[in-house]
Structure 1
Amino acid sequence: MTWRDSVLLSTVLDLPVEQRHALLEVLVAVAAADGAIVAEEAACVESIMGAVMLHPEARAGLRNQLTDPPLWSASLAEIDRKHARIMVYLAAYVAAVDGEYDEAEVRLLRQMCEALDLKKKVLKDAFAWVESGLNWMASLHEETG
């Protein structure tokens, strides 16, 4: 997780715990969109659970959802408009963490943006943010490797 992620996640801490939980349910749904949650996606979701300070019992429930993802529409409805953009950025990050965007993940991200009444540019910006962050991490790896 980079300093950029930390800034974004610190904003999530402003959310009530119910909305943080709903956000993580949405992220689980994105990770599962392609039919399988790989280790990188599970680790990313776990990392975000810790960063947004979810209670251990809530984390256990979310871990169970990794094998049986929730309906994303109900969880998405709990996220307020003010934080919708943050959710899209984090969801794009989860979708990319295994090295590629699966078509099903991208389709789900688009559906979520439509459900939140967000402009297409928000998702485009989220993809650019993720790419920038991944490039930044790769450059650090090259410098230290």
Structure 2
Amino acid sequence: MKKTLIYFSLIFALFAFSGCNQSNHSTEETTNTTTFQADKSDITNSTYTLKVRKNMDLANAEIKFKDDTMEWTRTYAESETDTANASPEKIVLTDVKITTENEEYTIVGKKDGSTQTFHFRKIGNFRIEDEEGNIYTL
């Protein structure tokens, strides 16, 4: 009985301390970052809402892409302690053209007769990041 217990302990120790060496795995394989390819169809006719805010004054935000328009509504808190009193800021672009390159979306449209350009970066499936670092999800 004692020999059996010693054998099982040795076998267990052998497996426990062998680690990843025998299976050709390494921790470096899991830490590589993936670049997501931006596709126009990901944001066409979609509504993205604020998920993670980098700007702490930003209380709420939503981006709507519909046909050839983009409506971006952002609500900023008037003070750090009172988010109930907030002022919305709305940008509506018409004649929107969406181009993609790697993980970047470039949205060009007209607002009050002038051309405006916004850049977003695809950071995951159905997740985009604006130029300020705020993250939106579908």
TM > 0.5 fold call: no
**More relative contact order, 1 or 2 (CA 8 Å, 6+ apart):** 1
Structure possessing the higher radius of gyration over alpha carbons:
2
TM-score for the superposition, normalised by structure 1 = 0.20
TM-score for the superposition, normalised by structure 2 = 0.21
Structure with greater helix percent: 1
Structure with greater strand percent: 2
